[in-house]
Structure formats: C-alpha cells, structure tokens
Amino acid sequence: MATQESRLDKFLGEFKQQTFESEFTKFMREYKQQKPQTEAEQRKSRSIWWDHKQDLETQRRAKESGVKQQAYVYQNKV
C-alpha cells in the first residue's frame, strides 16, 4: 500500500499548481534580504508612536464629550 501512495504522490506532484506571488511580495522579500535591519527599525518606530500605556481617564472624557451624529449625515432634519 505504501508503494501505491508514493506513486499517487509522485503522480499528483507533477500536477501541483504553482503558488502565486505578487510583485509586491517579491519586492518586499528581496528588500528585506538586502536590508535585514528593516524589521528592527520598524519595531523601534512602532514603540515610539504606538506602544504606550493607555490613559483610561482621558479616553473616558473624550468619549463623553463626543457629539452624537445622525445616521445619515447629509439628510435634512425632519
């Protein structure tokens, strides 16, 4: 039975579809190979701009001070 499976695998292997890789994916893969420091720089930048502790009081005040908006902005009030 193992020989049957290996024959089938060999047969199906010849017909496997090539996976598609977009131009952008190729570009990014090559870029990261040429400049391996890119990911470290991305992590550093993210920590500067995004990875901060959240101030829950400020978030609460901002939510409470928001003005409610009608469902469809451009409709005249009836």
Q: Report the alpha-carbon distance of residue 32 to residue 63 in Å, rounded.
A: 41
User: What separation in angstroms does the CA of 20 have from each of 17, 23, 25, 30, 59?
Assistant: 9, 10, 10, 16, 44
Report pLDDT digits (tens) over 16-71.
666 788 999 999 999 999 999 999 999 998 888 887 788 899 999 999 998 888 88
Domain-embedded: residue 10: no
| 29 is a domain residue | yes
Question: Does 69 fall in a domain?
Answer: no
Please indicate, yes or no, if residue 62 is contained in any of the structural domains. no
Asked if residue 53 belongs to a domain, the reply is no
- Distance between CA atoms of residues 41 and 48, nearest Å: 11
The pLDDT confidence band at residue 75, using thresholds 50, 70 and 90, is confident
Q: Is residue 2 part of a domain?
A: no
Cα(33)–Cα(39) distance, rounded to whole angstroms?
11
The predicted pLDDT at position 19 comes to 78
Q: What integer pLDDT is reported at residue 39 of this predicted model?
A: 92
Looking at the structure of the chain, the number of domains it has is 1
Q: Give the pLDDT score at 18.
A: 67
- Would residue 25 count as lying in a domain? yes
Tell whether the model's pLDDT for residue 11 goes beyond 90.
no
